[in-house]
Structure 1
Amino acid sequence: MTTQNEQIEIPLSKTKMFLTLFGAIAFVGLGLWFLINPPKTNHLLFGNPTFIFVIGLALILFFGLVAITIIRKFSDKKAGLIINRQGVTDNSSGVSAGLIPWADIQEIKVLQVMSQKFLMFIVSNPQDYLDKVTNPIKRNAMKMNYKTYGSPISISSNALQTNFDELQKLLVDKMNEYKSK
């Protein structure tokens, strides 16, 4: 974490990204196995070749997209997260929101999906963030976040050189500090 003139920069964690990439490639491999040589079983669900084919295809598409996104992030020299007077600039994932001004942020909530924690940024103008996204895959992911969790903007510590609790404390403290000015 770098601090310069009231600007805090949290770099992307190449180690965390590599581990996630390794996992994504493993799931793509599993999907390929399901397509090329599906397991033979008498199980009602797993013995259904159509079900196995659909699962294999879903694994390849989803985790292939994850792998491509991570590979692109490896060459990204920008900080994963920048916190300053203007707000929070998110560059931490494939669905990063860019600059989120403090004035737009109403609340930062903790959300847990399975064992994965996220910070949901409840903003006053969520549609504006959806409208500025040109990539249809990214826009649909953000729309799904919005419909499911009430905000298109979420940040996790998965690709950052920090842990979740430190990230949450830092962002909430800075939001309170900058909003009180």
Structure 2
Amino acid sequence: MNDHFIVMAKKGRMVMLTIFSLMFVVLGIFILLFPFNEPMLPMVIGILAILVFGLCFLYYVKVLVKREPAVIITKEGIIDNSSYIRAGLVKWEEIEAIDFLNFSGQVFLGIFTYNRELIIDRSSGMKRVFNRLNKGLLPSQVNIPFKNLECSAEELMKAIEERWDTALEEESKKE
């Protein structure tokens, strides 16, 4: 068994998300430039669109330029770098269960940890806020958008099961 199972983000999907983010930034700019009778609400919407989707645009450009793995399955655990609110390394001993979850028509690899606040406690700033919001959407603590990954569900689960089983065997030998 190979030490690491590396999964890259789908380049085409990242390009698409980059373009959509840029389109919403441009839409936000148009909203700001268009004269309205009551300008307060459109101005707030325009500014929010520029800020939120501008940050998304910058994130996706960085992902496309840097081309780092989205997910790495190792003998220590799962390293999640699949999104801005990435969890980083989640060790096998911190993981209670792993399952595929559906939310709003999208499939996520859900990682359930024993400590329900683990990922929130590890993050800071805006990532902490987004992780807290994310907690209310799905029951799992780490949610990796499967549609963004360049591998099949079978390959991913096989790699997870092999390394998780190996880690459990090594842990039981220590005891």
Does residue 1:76 correspond to 2:66, yes or no? Answer: yes
The equivalent residue for 1:43 is: none
- Residue among 17, 22, 30 paired with 1:20: 17
The structure whose residues are more often helix, as a share, is 2
User: Matched residues in 1 for 2:83 and 2:161: separation?
Assistant: 25
What is the TM-score normalised by the length of structure 2? Answer: 0.80
CA shift in 2, pair 1:127/1:29, >3 Å: same
Q: What do the CA deviations read for 1:102-151 (whole angstroms, capped 9, x no partner)?
A: 222222233333232222211112323222223x1111111111233233
- 1: CA distance, partners of 2:160 / 2:126: 29
Is 1:151 matched up with 2:140? yes
Q: Alignment identity in percent?
A: 27
Q: Does 1:60 align with 2:50?
A: yes
Q: Where does the alignment leave 5 or more consecutive residues of structure 1 unmatched?
A: 41-46
| Counterpart check, 1:124 vs 2:114 | yes
Q: Contact between 1:143 and 1:152, CA under 8 Å: does it hold in 2?
A: no
| 5+ long unaligned stretches in structure 2 | 170-175
Residues 81-160 of structure 1: matches in 2 within 5 Å?
81-134=71-124, 136-160=125-149
Aligned-residue RMSD, C-alpha: 2.4
Aligned to 2:173: none
Quick one: distance in 1 between partners of 2:43 and 2:101?
A: 32
Contact 2:107–2:147 at 8 Å: present in 1 too? Answer: no
Find the aligned partners of 1:22 and 1:12 in 2 and give their Cα distance. Answer: 16
State whether residues 11 and 81 of structure 1, in contact with CA within 8 Å, keep that contact through their aligned partners in structure 2.
Answer: yes
Contact 1:90 1:98 in 2 (8 A): yes
Number of aligned residue pairs: give it. Answer: 166
Displacement after TM superposition at 1:5 (Å): 2.0
